[in-house]
Amino acid sequence: MKIPVIHGYIERRILINFTADPVDIEKILPYPFRPKIFKNKAIVGICLIRLKDIKPKGLPDFLGINSENGAHRIAVEWDENGKIKSGVYIPRRDTSLPLNTWVGGRIFPGKHYLAKFNINEQEGNYHIDFKSSDDTEISIDAYETDIFNNNSIFETIENASCFFEKGDLGYSPNKDKFDGLRLNAYQWKVKPLNVLDVKSSFFEDEKIFPKGSVQFDNALLMTNIEHEWLSEPTIGDN
């Protein structure tokens, strides 16, 4: 799958990050991916991103589209041409925009589920929840802070920022192949969020993840980031 360079603005991006048992994550990852391990833990999470003025690069902003989106992510590694590559595997994507559900998996990488988003953001406080067409639900209540979670496996925001910046290449399943998409952020700047409550029916599904095997670790916020989406070679494409 090859798309033109897509340009736009990340108005708001929240990365909600969890640690997980690598054995459980290995069971749900397709070949050739394996969990990327940090201090003996797999790192999984949710990206809640509001995109603005999204359109092929070179077109004026007023032709762009806006949307709220959610993506479940797993930090992964894989072998390619004798080298170890790293990025994220994205088992599911959710969106507020019906157009995305049509182009996802056809023109744009990854099937997208249509979801109803409920957003309340004011004075550094954030409430976001959505329910998708297959009843997958996410919710988070958080507020901006200058203090990174001191219980995080990453210990400092600099360590966390470095880890997630390297996850700019994402692969989404498309039948028996995996479509690649790289996020080129013109600047990379994150700040911590203090999370009051977070729920994910995906990570709380005990049929996939044994109770207690996925634990909240930290949350990061990015705002007003100009960026591009770049197509990457498909894995499994002959």
- For the stretch 48-58, pLDDT in tens is 999 999 999 99
Instruction: Give SS3 for 82.
Output: coil
User: What's the CA angle centered on 69, arms 163 and 194, to 5 degrees?
Assistant: 55
What count of Cα atoms within 13 Å lies in the side-chain half-sphere of residue 102? 3
pTM above 0.85? yes
Whether 109 has a pLDDT exceeding 80, the answer reads no
pLDDT tens across 187-214, in order? 999 999 999 999 999 999 998 888 889 9
> What pLDDT is attached to residue 95?
93
The strand pairing partners of 68, in sequence order, are 50
* 23-43 pLDDT tens trace: 999 999 999 999 999 999 999
Q: What does the pLDDT read at residue 102?
A: 77
- In 128-159, which positions are buried (b, 16+ CB within 10 angstroms) versus exposed (e)? bbbbbeeebebebbbeeeeebbeebbbeebee
Helix (H) or strand (E) holding 102, with range, is helix 98-103
142-165 pLDDT, tens digit per residue, is 999 999 999 999 999 999 999 999
Cβ neighbors of 125 (< 8 A, separation 6 or more) are 141, 142, 143, 144
- The predicted model gives 156-176 an average pLDDT of 94
Residues in the chain: 238
Are the CB atoms for 125 and 143 separated by under 8 Å? yes
pLDDT for the residue numbered 111 = 82
With 90 as the cut, is the pLDDT of residue 110 above it?
no
The CA distances from residue 144 to 47, 158, 193, in Å, are 16, 17, 5
Task: List, in sequence order, every residue forming a beta bridge with 7; answer none if it has no partner.
Answer: 55, 228
Q: Does 1 have pLDDT greater than 60?
A: no
Tell whether the model's pLDDT for residue 237 goes beyond 70: no
Predicted pLDDT at 141: 98
3-state secondary structure at position 40: coil
Q: What is the pLDDT of residues 39-98, one digit of tens each?
A: 999 999 999 999 999 999 999 999 999 999 999 999 999 999 999 999 999 999 999 999
> Can you give the pLDDT at residue 107?
62
Peptide bond into 32 cis (omega under 30): yes
Highest mean pLDDT among 104-113, 116-125, 173-182 belongs to 116-125
Instruction: Tell me if residue 103 falls in helix, strand or coil.
Output: helix
Q: Give the pLDDT of residue 3.
A: 79
Helix (H, G, I), strand (E, B) or coil at 71: strand
Instruction: Determine phi and psi for 167, rounding to 5 degrees.
Output: -95, 40
Contacts of 67 (CB under 8 A, 6+ apart): 50, 51, 54, 95, 96, 97, 100
The pLDDT value recorded for residue 106 is: 66
Please determine, for residue 238, whether its predicted confidence score (pLDDT) is greater than 60. Answer: no
Nearest to 183 by CA among 81, 106, 88, 91: 88
